Amino acid sequence: MKCPYCSTIDTRVIDSRLNQTSDVTRRRRECPKCEGRFTTYEHVEEVMPLIIKKDGRREPYSRLKMLEGLKKSCQKRPVTSHSIDEAATLIEKRIQSYGLKEVPSRTIGQMVMIELHKLDTVAYIRFASVYREFKDVEEFVAELQEPPVAEDDPALLVFPFAATPPAVDSAGLSKSPNAPNSQKEKHHD
């Protein structure tokens, strides 16, 4: 690691510690040339799938966009920022567990509604009223009668513009030829 003070490349680690959730390593380093000390943080780079919008467009996943929706729904409600961040992290981990390259936005919206319902009913209603695009009051009241249903099974990831849902194996991983975990590799000699 390069020293931020004198740009020497050869620095040494003098202390390493994991954070409470064991997903970040904090390292104290020292430069042998200038004796400057500094801290670095190491974490796994997580690759999120593309999001398939209602009209079929694809766009990169944005944690910030999801957090803004969560925060707006929880505005002036007794929900802590920490709880909102935890909900966003839980949703991201669930998305990654599918092992897919693309996930429909409605699936993420459903996950957000489930987490908001756990955090605060009013926040859930706020989000659902915008997300679900209710046609009339009866639809809205019907939504309030039943909590959101989890769609944790990747086989339920229906793509409205595709003929069939993505095939998944018993581990919940995509079996399409383009999927990273696919066993169907073609070799051309």
Tell me 181's DSSP state. T
| Highest mean pLDDT (candidates 23-27, 152-156, 157-161) | 23-27
- At residue 162, does pLDDT exceed 50? no
24, two tokens: 């970040």
> Where do the structural domains in the chain lie, given as residue ranges?
12-43, 50-156
Predicted model pTM: 0.57
Tell me 164's DSSP state. S
45, two tokens: 């780079």
- At residue 46, does pLDDT exceed 80? no
- 151 against 93, higher pLDDT: 93
H-state helical runs in 78-151: 81-97, 105-119, 121-131, 137-145
Question: How confident is residue 99, by pLDDT bands cut at 50, 70 and 90?
Answer: confident
Predicted pLDDT at 90: 92
What is the C-alpha separation between 53 and 24, in angstroms, rounded? 32
